[in-house]
Amino acid sequence: MEALASSFSSIHTSTHLREVIIFLLSAVLVVPIFRRLKTSPVLGYLLVGAIIGPFGLKAISDVEGARLLGEFGVIFLLFTIGLDLSLERLGGMSRLIFGLGGAQVVITGLTIGAIAWAWGNSPEAAIILGVCLALSSTAIITQLLIENDEFSSPFGRTVFAVLLLQDLAVVPLLVSVKALSTGVEPVPVDLVFSLFKSIAMVVIIIIIGRLTLRPLFRMVAGAHSPELLMAMTLLAILATAIGTELVGLSMALGAFLAGMLLAETEFRHQVESDIQPFKGLLLGLFFIGVGMGIDLSAVLDRALLIGASVLGLIFIKVTIFLCLGHLFRLPRPVSLRGALLLGPGGEFALLVIGTTMATGVLAPDIGQFMMIVAALSMAVTPLMMPFGQWLVRKWQGRIEKTYVAFPAAASHDLHGHVIIAGFGRVGQTIAAILTTQKVPYVALDLNPPATSARQQAGQPIYYGDVERTEVLEQVSIARAAALVLTIDTPQTAKRALAAIRARWPDIPVFVRAHDATHIRQLEILGATGVVPETLEASLALAGQVLNGIGTPMDAVNILISRIRDEHYADIESIGAPRRDT
């Protein structure tokens, strides 16, 4: 091992460049291998971190720098999660967040603290160990939920509610840890003041965000510059993250709030596709940083005791959550799988234990031991997902995957819908006809003012580039009944059709064409149906779409004739959803 370490040191290049190459090489090798093994890449990142870290080959010298950069991966992860939620939907989860989540933190913390005190730790050390080990890893668990497409299931919704409460509980827990470490008496006063500051900052972020984010993004999107839109997204994320950090909350919580605020705008899908590559790379670095804290030699020296401690920690937390799941009447599969996934420790334990060791409240030998236990339990977390699935299959023969209700335009709930790319007069006509037949649709457009106005009127339209396959994934193209290209730029339509056919060869694609030459080009590229533009073109195209997804042709002809008689000028009012007054 020493020989390998010295060989790394002999490389004549910049230290930071070498570390970047090591990280990128790890990502390139780890992800394909573990995906082929049908195992979460998170486990591979943790293993790589343990091997190349300070307790292994020592290939990475700036461990703290890598961990700090990796924190941005967690920030981007929470931001994308916020994009899938809204303030209204979050309010509907209050029972799970404050009820189940609050009970889990308090009861688990008291139980682990009591056990730590019984083993001879001081009351202060016992309380600190209890509260920090009660929390789980938000970064690892949410990534696992996303990888398994279960973030929006009842199981994922329950787990995330608990994780969100744990993030909110970090502020009072940090205040308590600081008070216990320094011997300060008026803990309740500090707690109340910190909670007041935290709530005030969250309210300020929500108010300012609702007033400014949509106009700012609309202005930037109007410049039609992807770089400016990305810069605006990063500014929104970092500004809210720094705002929450100033009052003691986590930066990830601020990014989560920014995501929720953007979820209410028409820019949601485009922003999510833009931020995805940054999130994946930086999150991988975060997991590698966690793995660097695992001392494999120490684990081997005390393997039996450490293994028993990891299993004991998970057993305690699983048992408590199962009891709470029964109390809150959770479905058994949800309760069991949630308990297993939340059972291991989280990154917050590493931070708090390291801090308390420095203050002398926690003995160094106990602190090092518990840090290894917490880190190893995090490394076990990716295994809990398939283990929970196996248990549910074993006991019930199936996994409950009933999805919660989403807003009409939410991508997770879309199925059998029509995607309309381009929402000018032709796109609006098609949307109007689909609406009369109660066929769900989602529209994408690159006109910020029009997109914003129509979304505020209740229509499911978002700012997004149809040439980007990531954007199409956000509107569930794989589950769509058809896609309609009404773009008025021939070259854009051809590029979009080629990208769609390369990725989704079987989905019906109906395209608006300009002339005979354009029609032939689109047919060669694989268009299901091509119609020249004009009013009759839009009506015929809508008729093809309805017939292509199963509506009888006789019914289509009657419908189109009726709409033609009502005049083209009235089409828009037919397409707009009825609003109660």
pLDDT at residue 483, as a whole number: 93
Which amino acid type is present at position 6? S
Strand partners, 359: none
**Helix-, strand-, coil-residue percentages of the chain, each rounded to 5:** 70, 5, 25
Residue 108 confidence (pLDDT): 93
Tell me the CA distances in angstroms from 196 to 166, 249, 254, one per residue in order: 18, 12, 16
Give the residue from 370, 236, 238 showing the smallest Cα distance to 310: 370
What parts of the chain have a pLDDT lower than 70?
1-16, 19, 38-40, 42, 61-70, 77, 81, 84-92, 149, 152, 170-195, 248-249, 290, 293-294, 351, 354-355, 357-360, 395-413, 514-517, 532-538, 564-581
User: DSSP string spanning 439-502?
Assistant: --EEEEES-HHHHHHHHHTT--EEE--TT-HHHHHHTTGGG-SEEEE--S-HHHHHHHHHHHHH
- The vertex-192 CA angle with 186 and 198, nearest 5°, equals 135
Structure tokens at 489: 């730029």
How far apart CA 92 and CA 165 sit, in angstroms, is 14
**At 249, which amino acid appears?**
L
For residue 422, CA distances in Å to 228, 491, 494 come to: 22, 14, 14
- Contact by Cβ (8 Å): 284, 27: yes
**Residue 71 and residue 546: Cα distance in Å, rounded?**
48
The token pair at 543 is 């008729």
Which run of H or E residues covers position 421? Answer: strand 418-421
Q: Which two tokens stand for residue 58?
A: 């020592």
* Domain boundaries along the sequence of the chain: 68-396, 411-575
pLDDT of residue 346: 82
pLDDT at residue 581, rounded to an integer: 35
> Within a 13 Å sphere around the CA of 229, how many CA atoms are in the beta-carbon half?
23
Q: What is the pLDDT of residue 223?
A: 82
Which region, left, alpha or beta, applies to residue 335 given φ > 0 means left and ψ of -120 to 50 means alpha? alpha
Q: 411-575 maps to which CATH number?
A: 3.40.50.720
Give me the pLDDT at residue 227, please: 82
- Please name every residue paired with 511 in a beta bridge, in sequence order, or none if there are none: 485, 530
Q: What is the 3-state secondary structure (H, E, C) of 204-270?
A: HHHHHHHHHHHHHHHHHHCCCCHHHHHHHHHHHHHHHHHHHHHCCCCHHHHHHHHHHHHHCCCCHHH
Model pLDDT, residue 578: 40
Q: What is the pLDDT of residue 400?
A: 36
Q: What whole-number distance in Å separates Cα of residue 216 and Cα of residue 229?
A: 10
pLDDT of 545 reads 81
Give the C-alpha distances (Å, rounded to integers) separating 541 from 151, 280, 426, 505, 575. 36, 39, 9, 20, 16
Least Cα distance to 289 among 229, 424, 379, 217 occurs for 379
Of 98, 76, 51, 128, residue with least CA distance to 237? 76
Domain range 68-396, its CATH number among 3.30.300.30, 1.10.287.3510, 1.20.1530.20, 3.90.950.10 = 1.20.1530.20
- 34 Rama sector, left if φ>0, alpha if ψ -120 to 50, beta otherwise: alpha
